[in-house]
Amino acid sequence: MEWFGRANVDFHASATPIKISEKDGSPRTLLDICQETVPPCQLNPLLFNGHLQTCWTAANKEAPPVHYKRQIFEAEHSGYSGSFTVDFFTPDEADEVDETLPERTTYFSDEELASGIGSDDARPMLVVLHGLSGGSHEVYLRHGISPLLESGAWEACVVNSRGCAMSKITTGILYNARATWDTRQLVRYLRKTFPNRPLFGLGFSLGACILTNYLGEEGANCPLKAAIACANPWNLELSSKALKRTFIGHNLYSRVLGTAMKKLAETHRTEIEKFTDLSMEELTKLTYLYEFDRVVQCAAWGYPTEDAYYRDASSVDSVLAIRIPYLAINCTDDPISAAESWPVGEIKANPYAVLCGTSLGGHLGWFEIGGGRWHSKPITNFFNYMAFKADLTKIETEKKDNTRTYHAGAEFDPMRRKMAVPLA
Q: What is the dihedral of CA 160, 166, 167, 170, to 10 degrees?
A: 130
Quick check: helix, strand or coil at residue 344?
Answer: helix
Q: How far apart are CA 373 and CA 44, in angstroms?
A: 10
Q: How far apart are CA 392 and CA 19, in angstroms?
A: 10
Nearest to 100 by CA among 70, 122, 141, 62: 70
| Measured CA angle at 102 (ends 198, 331), to 5 deg | 60
- The CB-side HSE value for 401 (13 A sphere, CA atoms) comes to 6
Q: How far apart are CA 120 and CA 190, in angstroms?
A: 11
Asked whether 280 and 265 are in contact (CB, 8 A), the reply is: yes
DSSP string for 262-297: HHHHHHTHHHHHHH----HHHHTT--SHHHHHHHHH
The residues annotated with a catalytic role in the active site are: 205, 334, 363
DSSP string for 63-132: ----EEEEEEEE-SSGGG-SEEEEEEEESSPPSS--TTS-TTEEEPPHHHHHH---------EEEEE--T
